[in-house]
Structure 1
Amino acid sequence: MQQFAIIFLSILLEALPFVLIGTIISSLIEIFISREWLANHLPQKSILAFLIAGLAGIIFPVCECAIVPIMRRLVKKGMPIGVAVTFMLATPTINPVVLLSTHYAFPDNIYFPLLRGGLGYLTALTVGLIMAFLSEKSDLKAVKQKSDYVHNANCGCAHNDHHDHETEEHCTCIHDEHDHIHEDADHECSCGHSHATRKDGIFPILKSILLHTSNELYEVGRFLIFGVLISATMQTFVPREYFLALSKNPALSIVMMMTLAFVLSLCSEADAFIAATFRGNLSNSSIIAFLLFGPMMDIKNMLMLAGGFKARFIIRLIATIGLVVFIFSSISAFLF
């Protein structure tokens, strides 16, 4: 049980800072980015939107623990699901911190970081395009807010008037009594308010950020803890030798390493060091599969996604990621 406790705490402590970063960024997106801004700055119905979403990971150094709440918030803000999926999958795979850690884990083979970055981008782009055809807006769950700050029309403002809500999320308005904070004429909160110039100062803004962050952290954190619990249980009670016995078949070893990545639920900044321990025992293509699949989908990410998306969407997403990663990992065997 001591080993279980150590593994549980290590995974949790490793993931929590990135989850906190993600929820803070998610809150900033909720407050400062409107549907109009996304519509004006992202070509949502062209291949360019997917290309840009995938490349955003290069300048966004967070792992998969942090990106799930951001992706959910972007979808709720109006970003097409396929584009958001591309962003979610590419960011923890191709960001500079992850590629640098991969280089340090495999210092004698530059192909591992290069293939992780290149194939990671192609995988994210391919899965995003496929999910654009397989997904629909109804895949997103309606989120009901807690009664302590939800009033009348399910918004964070204590308004007595009625609003036309596109979602059940609370409003991002910050106000004293019934006065809104207005940022600009184009700003729109999640319950359809139009805003002008912000005038209440920095403290109400910080209060709203903390409110959104705490709510998002509560919602995501419960799934994270459950996922870490399952992952720690598997790492403690399933000997690694059982997985290694399956590695004689190349295709089976790829599937096995994807399964292991899914179960271990490691942050992408650290998983390369775990993958490096399998060198010599498993094929390079199966290690690439581990490095690609883990950041894109694991137990804790699946459970965090369950807080915002319906089961049918998650099943389709996992199956699509698995198929695409399997194909690209098999191809990578000819690139070493």
Structure 2
Amino acid sequence: MEEPPVTAPTTTKGTPGPEKGTPSPEKGTTIGSLEVLAVVLVLLVLARGRIAGLISGAALQTWSTVFVSVLVQAVPFLVFGVVLSAVIAVFVPRGFWARALPSHPALAVPAAGVAGVILPGCECGSVPIAGSLIRRGVTPAAALAFLLAAPAINPIVLTATVIAFPGEPMMAVARGVASLVVAVAMGWLWLRVGKPEWIKLPHRPDLDDESKARAFWAACRHDIMHAGGFLVLGAAAAATINVVIPAAWLQSLAGYPVLSVIALATLAVLLSICSEADAFVAASLSQFSLTSRLVFLVVGPMVDLKLISMQTGVFGRRFAMRFAPATFVAAILVGSAFGVVLL
């Protein structure tokens, strides 16, 4: 049975309106992620003296370095994804995706996953693009397969993996195939058990009545507000984890095969490294097995703190609470299997 696309609720005049139980925009100002972020930043500036006194200079320096590095890695690809999302929303006809993808959802999922190879970006750009695809009528299962596959199987990421592991050419092959299998499996799982109400796309102003230029910039502003604010919050969480977790803990787990896989999978979530750079981090973890490092590379582009935050902002909390844990488990199982067989 074909899964219905997720669309915004409509009023009697045919324009998007608020969901039942949601206050109308005319009755008050909606507080979004951008406003919350602004308040948090102001509070941090006002309390910077007290915060600096509580945290040692070295820890604070590490925190700020990790925070800035995550943003520097992610922001260019976020902007790329937002712009491409706006192009899809404004310039691509609504019927294009119905013609480009197989009509049967079960076949559209692997087709969308393989299409991820043409996007030279990271997970930050794939989130707004997937949201725009769903708005344009693509079945959510196919859009989610694209979201997971694009950051892991595109040529830039696979080339970086080959360079990072010069003596292990199968590492890039295993990463690409395992990531595609996870993406397709999660798409099919969504077809099986996913519910349309679990995805709550934020209300976007109707773009069809605007000029192309105005609609394009409106879509860009909308996606930057909802994805960018959560990206900053995710980067802050990743920086905090880097400061809190002692490196010695990882050293003690390297000798245990199962625990090392779980440890590096968890580390991939916490570090939130961009998929273009994570292969070099994995290569530096030489005390761990190739299989555990493969799991690190499969999990990272699909589930990390900044990605979970962005998915919450774009698709809603109910979606992120279900999709991220399921993807995490699937990535560990599939990555481990391909590591044992190919490495």
Give the SS at the match of 1:208. Answer: helix
The equivalent of 1:218 in structure 2 is 225
Q: Map of 1:254-273 to 2, 5 A cutoff?
A: 254-273=261-280
| Contact 1:44-1:83 within 8 A present in 2 as well | no
Task: Give the one of 200, 205, 229 matched to 1:170.
Answer: 205
1:282 aligned residue: 288
**Alpha-carbon distance between aligned partners in 2 of 1:321 and 1:249, rounded to the nearest angstrom:** 23
Question: Per the alignment, in what secondary structure is the counterpart of residue 307 of structure 1?
Answer: helix
Q: Could you tell me which of 17, 24, 30 is aligned with 2:76?
A: 17
Q: Which residue of 2 aligns with 1:327?
A: 333
Higher alpha-carbon deviation: 71-80 or 216-225: 71-80
Could you tell me which runs of 5 or more consecutive residues in structure 1 were left unpaired when the two chains were aligned. Answer: 145-168, 176-203
Q: Larger helix proportion, structure 1 or 2?
A: 2
Q: Report how far residue 172 of structure 1 moved.
A: 1.6
Given candidates 301, 312, 325, the residue that maps to 2:318 is 312
Distance 1:285 1:39, change over 3 A: same
Aligned equivalents of 1:134, 1:247: Cα separation in 2: 36
Verify the 8 A CA contact 1:53 1:87 in the aligned structure 2.
yes
After TM superposition, the structure 1 = structure 2 runs for residues 1-336 of structure 1, keeping only pairs within 5 Å, are 1-144=60-203, 169-173=204-208, 175=210, 204-279=211-286, 281-331=287-337, 332-336=339-343
CA distance, structure 2, for counterparts of residue 329 and residue 294 of structure 1: 11
Percent of aligned pairs sharing the same letter:
33
Match of 2:95, SS state, is: helix
Q: Residue 295 of structure 1: SS of its match in structure 2?
A: coil
Over aligned residues, Cα RMSD in angstroms? Answer: 1.6
Runs of 4+ in 1 over 3 A off after TM superposition: none
Aligned pair in 2 of structure 1 residues 33, 237: CA closer, same or farther (>3 Å)? same
Instruction: Using the TM superposition, give the Cα deviation of residue 72 of structure 1 relative to its aligned residue in structure 2, in angstroms.
Output: 1.2
Structure 2: how far apart are the matches of 1:120 and 1:53? Answer: 13
* Structure 2 CA distance for partners of 1:205 and 1:76, relative to 1, 3 Å: closer
How far apart are 1:142 and its partner, in Å?
A: 4.6
State the shift of 1:123 in Å.
1.3
- Paired with 1:215 and 1:325, the residues of 2 have a C-alpha distance of 31
Q: How many residues align?
A: 283
**What is the CA–CA distance in structure 2 between the aligned matches of 1:306 and 1:259, rounded to whole Å?**
19
> Is the contact between residue 81 and residue 135 of structure 1 (CA under 8 Å) also seen in structure 2?
no
SS at structure 1 position matched to 2:314: coil
TM-score between the two structures when normalised by the length of structure 2: 0.78
Instruction: With the length of structure 1 as denominator, give the TM-score of the two structures.
Output: 0.80
- The question of whether the paired residues in 2 share the 8 Å contact of 1:63 and 1:295 is answered with yes
